[in-house]
Amino acid sequence: MARGGVSELEGNHPMIARNAVLLLAVALLAPLCARSNPQDPGRYRFIERPGTALPAQMPLRDSDGRTVTLSELAQGKPLILVLGYFRCSNLCGIVRASLYRALFAANLRAGRDYALAVLSIDPRESDGQARAAKAQDVAAFRVSDPRYVHYLTGTAPEIAAVAAAVGFRDRFDEPTEQFVHPLGVIFATPEGVISNYLLGVGYTPVAVRAAVQRAETGTIAAVGQPLLLVCFHFDPSTGRYTLEILKVLRLAGILTVLTLAGTLFFLHRRPRASP
């Protein structure tokens, strides 16, 4: 018998507890991941392109400084592709963490079930930055075989070619030296054709397993509803996102009330133990 109350729910569903923490982190960071132009909310998002071939022979560099291609990295496995940048202080690391945890919980193993490529969208980032980010993630998230996990850099034209193929729209903001970009993960078939996407952040093991299986079988998924969560940070001294902060705080309050109400409801309906 579990300990009861919230601890009982956490013990029976550890992924629920992890996802709750992740969603709380996203809620707290949401004001820092806002739109650069509120009049054009769709400008920085994924334009999903399932069925499109990746530029599989485009030369990129891995964390050891070797020239590689996406086709070479896949090695006959479904390829999971993540675009972001390694020095990002907002949600790029949370996207990778969420993906790694879901892969582990779904019992999907690098080299056996998939290959992973994390491509920096910043052409200024170096092999050393890619190597440091990979080492940190491999140590933190129990990667089964790091040889099938690749942290990549490229020139501006090389990155642009990959971004165009997957429908990734971004912009570099010079005052803050950060990128405005969408959040999500792309899944490609072993032949290098885009199979499906998971957009936003907070991936579940079920969703990730299904996405990998679709890619493995060559299934081309339909385009989903657009998600306008983008990663960006403005100088808070401008006060530009004050309204966004208030919205997040209101939403967090509503979610807290609903969570507590749901917990109390289930605890009230739980059969009482016999004396």
Instruction: Please indicate, yes or no, whether residues 25 and 52 belong to a single structural domain of this protein.
Output: no
What local confidence, expressed as pLDDT, does residue 229 receive? 44
Residue-wise pLDDT for 139-153, tens only, equals: 999 898 999 999 999
Q: Could you tell me the residue range of the domain that residue 66 belongs to?
A: 36-231
Distance CA 45, CA 183 (A): 8
Distance CA 203, CA 98 (A): 6
User: Is 236 inside a domain boundary?
Assistant: no
Instruction: Please indicate, yes or no, whether residues 59 and 195 belong to a single structural domain of this protein.
Output: yes
User: Is 274 inside a domain boundary?
Assistant: no
Instruction: Please indicate, yes or no, whether residues 40 and 166 belong to a single structural domain of this protein.
Output: yes
Residue-wise pLDDT for 150-170, tens only, equals: 999 999 999 999 999 999 988
User: Is 134 inside a domain boundary?
Assistant: yes
Instruction: Please indicate, yes or no, whether residues 119 and 222 belong to a single structural domain of this protein.
Output: yes
Residue-wise pLDDT for 68-116, tens only, equals: 999 999 999 999 999 999 998 888 999 999 999 999 999 999 999 999 9
What local confidence, expressed as pLDDT, does residue 18 receive? 52
Residue-wise pLDDT for 178-217, tens only, equals: 888 888 999 999 999 999 999 988 899 999 999 999 999 9
Instruction: Please indicate, yes or no, whether residues 142 and 195 belong to a single structural domain of this protein.
Output: yes
Instruction: Please indicate, yes or no, whether residues 126 and 103 belong to a single structural domain of this protein.
Output: yes
Residues 6+ apart with CB under 8 A from 27: 248, 251, 252, 255
Number of structural domains found in the chain: 2
Find the range with the poorest average confidence among 4-13, 44-53, 205-214.
Answer: 4-13
CATH number assigned to the domain comprising residue 62 = 3.40.30.10
pTM to 2 decimals? 0.71
Instruction: Please indicate, yes or no, whether residues 62 and 24 belong to a single structural domain of this protein.
Output: no
Is residue 162 within 8 A of residue 83, CB to CB? The reply is yes
User: Is 275 inside a domain boundary?
Assistant: no
